[in-house]
Amino acid sequence: MADAKVIPFGEDRPRGPGDRSARRRTGRRRSTDTGGATGAGGAAGSGGPGGPDPGEPPLSAVPDGSGDGSGGAADPPAAPRGHGPDGWERRLAHGLAFLRRRVTGEYEVDEFGYDADLTEHVLMSALRPVYEKYFRVEVRGIENIPDEGGALVVCNHSGTLPLDGLMLQVAVHDNHPAGRNLRLLAADLVFMLPVVNELARKAGHTLACAEDAERLLERGEVVGVMPEGFKGIGKPFSERYKLQRFGRGGFVSTALRAGAPIVPCSIVGAEEIYPMVGNARTVARLLGLPYFPLTPTFPWLGPLGAVPLPTKWTIQFGEPIPTDGYAPEAVEDPMLMFNLTDQVRETIQHTLYKLLVERRSVFF
């Protein structure tokens, strides 16, 4: 079995609005508009045995990145969404093509372990039903994330388990007009857990440290950070939608060094999926966890108590706060750090209150 190709930072080909977004507009989104079914596989080539659906452009006309001059393999094709009698045949063909790439090693993994092919055709496909059908996420202001270049998305954190980060990743992946991916910064605990560690790396997550975040921003990636950390997801239900401390503003200095805009983001709906009414601190210390949640259903109902409540979510991206106009020495100004951190925090908090006022119900 061949090894996957590793892409050094310096050889990573440029990504822009004309790359994967063209495929999504002619593939996934077109079939979504016509009532197509979701597929889980991806293909390299000209489509499945059944051929393209009527009214769709031939797959050979879809850009595949082979002419970008980078010399690397093309981006993984968008997951197919066929419909009609031959839709399952196309999905099967795409799935077989995906398996072939995994066996032959014809896929790319960057220096952080991000596997775009696996994320596009497996992880996103697994998360999408939860995002669309279970939490029924509504996304607003996605255009505030720039079409190209680095950007730092700063978001509130809640929900006892970090499902909000995963739903945020799907929101950017599926809704941004330029087809951008969100690279989340995760806590050390994520990379200490078996299985979770590998999946997080392959999904594009990396350690929540200034060095990794700055490298990703300079590379032109969209980076997501939740400064509340465990204080946010582990707070009691009585403090829902009240932002916790944002640390010392490390995310601001990272954005300033990279000259990347800061995009405030507010999520409503995640607080109620696991109402945390208590914290078994002794159990948490024994297990080496920051907290051990007690909810109305967990641990009383066993594994069934781990099923989240089907709340209705809203994710709103605010207007970006530019940082490229500051002098290089601005990162050493503690007052500037405090002011920008407070501005981002207040923007997120105000938006949360606004969304809560507009919300009709927790579940509808």
DSSP 270-333: GGGSS---EE-HHHHHHHT-S--EE-SSTTTTGGGGGSPP----EEEE---B--TTS-GGGGG-
pLDDT of 59: 37
- Pairing state between β 293-294 and 278-279: antiparallel
Instruction: Say if CB 150 and CB 222 are below 8 A apart.
Output: yes
**Alpha-carbon span 361 to 359, nearest angstrom:** 6
- Residue ranges of alpha helices (H) inside the chain are 20-26, 28-33, 87-104, 116-118, 124-129, 163-175, 196-202, 210-218, 230-233, 250-258, 281-287, 334-358
Question: Among 103, 46, 104, which Cα is nearest to 77's?
Answer: 46
∠ Cα 201 216 204 (to 5°): 20
- Residue ranges of alpha helices (H) inside 44-188 are 87-104, 116-118, 124-129, 163-175
Question: Among 92, 124, 312, which Cα is nearest to 202's?
Answer: 124
∠ Cα 145 150 155 (to 5°): 55
**Alpha-carbon span 51 to 66, nearest angstrom:** 22
Exposure letters 140-155 (e unless 16+ CB within 10 A, then b): bbbebbbeebbbbbbb
Looking at the DSSP bridge assignments, the partners of residue 263 are 153
**Alpha-carbon span 107 to 112, nearest angstrom:** 15
**Alpha-carbon span 339 to 262, nearest angstrom:** 13
Distance between first and last Cα of the chain: 49
pLDDT of 57: 43
pLDDT of 43: 34
DSSP class of residue 115 equals: B
Tokens linked to 308? 């989240």
∠ Cα 100 63 96 (to 5°): 15
Per-residue pLDDT tens, the chain, 364 aa: give them.
Answer: 444 444 444 444 444 444 444 444 333 333 333 333 333 333 333 333 344 444 444 433 334 433 333 333 445 555 444 444 467 888 888 889 989 998 998 889 999 999 999 999 999 999 999 999 999 999 999 999 999 999 999 999 999 999 999 999 999 999 999 999 999 999 999 999 999 999 999 999 999 999 999 999 999 999 999 999 999 999 999 999 999 988 778 899 999 999 999 999 999 999 999 999 999 999 999 999 999 999 999 999 999 999 999 999 999 999 999 999 899 889 999 999 999 999 999 999 999 999 999 999 999 9
Q: What is the pTM of this model?
A: 0.76
